[in-house]
């Protein structure tokens, strides 16, 4: 389980680099967080433009 927000973001980016089509459910399970948390982190990364080249 990943506990720190920065760690969650970093791991999410790594997972999406490997498979940009990974479902939110799969992301949350691999990160050890709820779907709601994974969704909020993903939305934040998208809004900040961090994932612009991936998706």
What confidence score (pLDDT) does residue 52 get? 79
Terminal CA-to-CA distance of the chain, rounded, Å? Answer: 25
Pick the CATH number of 5-47 from 1.10.20, 1.10.10, 2.60.120, 3.40.50: 1.10.10
- Please, what's the b/e burial string for 24-43 (b: 16 or more CB within 10 A of its CB; e: otherwise)? eeebbeebebeeebbeebbe
Considering only CA atoms, which of 38, 41, 12, 9 is closest in space to residue 25?
A: 38
Alpha-carbon distance 12 to 20, whole Å? 10
pLDDT at 43 over 60: yes
Q: Where are the domains of the chain?
A: 5-47
Q: What is the pLDDT of residues 8-25, one digit of tens each?
A: 999 999 999 999 999 999
Question: Model's pTM, two decimal places?
Answer: 0.85
- Reported confidence tier of residue 51, pLDDT bands at 50, 70, 90: confident
């Amino acid at each position: 389980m990943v506990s720190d927000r920065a760690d969650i973001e970093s791991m999410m980016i790594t997972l999406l680099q490997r498979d940009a089509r990974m479902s939110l459910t799969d992301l949350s399970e691999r990160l050890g967080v709820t779907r709601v948390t994974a969704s909020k982190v993903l939305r934040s990364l998208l809004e900040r433009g961090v994932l612009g080249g991936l998706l």
